[in-house]
Each structure stands twice: as C-alpha cells, then as structure tokens.
C-alpha cells in the first residue's frame, strides 16, 4: 500500500470516528452515562475509595495545577529511582545494573512529558520491571494527565460561572478507566 493510500485511510478514519469518539469523551469527562459506565463504574469508585478521592469536590485552577505538578514530580522521582536501582528490583533475569544518572534522568523526563525520546536500548539496558512498571505506566499517566488538562480547559471555557474546573484526580481516573485502558 502506498503512503498516499495510507494517508487517505487515516484521514477517513479520523473523519468517521471524530464525532462519536468526541461525544463519548465528553460524556466521560462530564460524568454522564456512556456505554462503558456500567462495566467500569465499580472500578472507578474503588480507585476513589482506595486513594481517598472525593469525586464530588471541585478544584480551582491552583489546586488542579498543583495536583498535576505533584503527580508529575512524584512519578518522575519514582521512575528515576526505579531506573537507577533496577539491579535491586524484581523481574531482572538479565542482571542489568542501574542506569547512569544522566540516562535515567533523560528517560524519566521524556516519558513524563510524553515525548518518549529514547536514547537507550531497552532490550539491553532495562529490566522487565523497569520497562513495564516504569516506562509503560509513565506512558499511560502522561497521556491521561494531558487529557485531564484538556478536559479542564474545555470545562473552564464552556462555563459561565466558574466555581471550579473539575477534579484532577477524577479526570485522571476517568481518562484511564474509560478511555485509555479500553482502547489499549
């Protein structure tokens, strides 16, 4: 298949799916009933209960932004430490040593920001644990965080009376549970 045909197919798929997917995502972020609501609602509520999230509590932009930054800082440090200390973590049958600081920093920063720039060879430098728990989880969290920020911006622009822009943790969980994981 030529590049031109592939491009046309991709454009056709976007045109066909943009409206139903947009409606679905709007329903997810607005908390309205949608096709996967009945299936995953218990998972969503269990995550809120486990993490102590008050799903009905609205946040202002400062609280929302703080939560975004706090999650980013926490996941960055956790990924960095995981990569530095992978020799001591499970699922390392190849016996890989921890990465040099500059490489671990680069990997943690790039996957946190969603750029996913790879200056390493995962098969020869990262343990299975680092790849699955570190890198894969970061890819899902970075995507869900970006989607949550976009949802809050849409909510803020559409609102006449702004008492809050939503709840970051709710937006993050809904993006993961109802959009990213089912489509993955």
d(Cα 87, Cα 41) in Å, to the nearest integer? Answer: 38
pLDDT digits (tens, 9 = 90+) for 128-166: 999 999 999 999 999 999 999 999 999 888 877 667 899
Using CA atoms, how far apart are residues 168 and 175, in angstroms rounded to an integer?
A: 10
Rounded Cα gap, residues 167 and 145, in angstroms: 12
What average pLDDT does range 64-88 have in this prediction? 97
Please count the other Cβ atoms lying within 10 Å of the Cβ belonging to residue 182. Answer: 12
Q: Are 24 and 34 in contact (CB under 8 A)?
A: yes
What is the pTM assigned to this prediction? 0.89
Which residues, in sequence order, are CB contacts of 104 under 8 Å at separation 6+? 80, 83, 84, 98
Q: Is the pLDDT of residue 111 over 90?
A: yes
**Which pLDDT score, from 0 to 100, does residue 49 have?**
96
Q: Is 69 helix (H, G, I), strand (E, B) or coil?
A: helix
pLDDT number for residue 121: 80
DSSP secondary-structure letter at 90? Answer: S
Q: What is the pLDDT of residues 38-73, one digit of tens each?
A: 899 999 999 999 999 999 999 999 999 999 999 999
């Amino acid at each position: 298949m030529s590049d031109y045909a592939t491009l046309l197919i991709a454009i056709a798929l976007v045109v066909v799916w943009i409206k139903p997917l947009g409606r679905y995502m709007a329903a997810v972020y607005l908390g309205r009933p949608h096709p996967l609501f009945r299936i995953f609602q218990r998972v969503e509520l269990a995550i809120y209960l486990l993490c102590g999230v008050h799903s009905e509590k609205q946040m202002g932009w400062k609280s929302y932004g703080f939560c975004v930054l706090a999650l980013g800082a926490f996941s960055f440090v956790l990924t960095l430490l995981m990569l530095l200390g992978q020799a001591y973590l499970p699922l390392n049958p190849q016996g890989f040593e921890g990465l040099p600081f500059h490489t671990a920093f680069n990997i943690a920063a790039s996957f946190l920001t969603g750029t996913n720039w790879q200056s390493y060879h995962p098969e020869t430098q990262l343990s299975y644990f680092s790849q699955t728990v570190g890198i894969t989880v970061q890819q899902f969290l970075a995507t869900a965080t970006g989607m949550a920020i976009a949802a809050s911006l849409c909510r803020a622009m559409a609102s006449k009376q702004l008492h809050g822009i939503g709840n970051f943790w709710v937006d993050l969980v809904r993006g993961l549970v109802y959009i990213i994981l089912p489509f993955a």
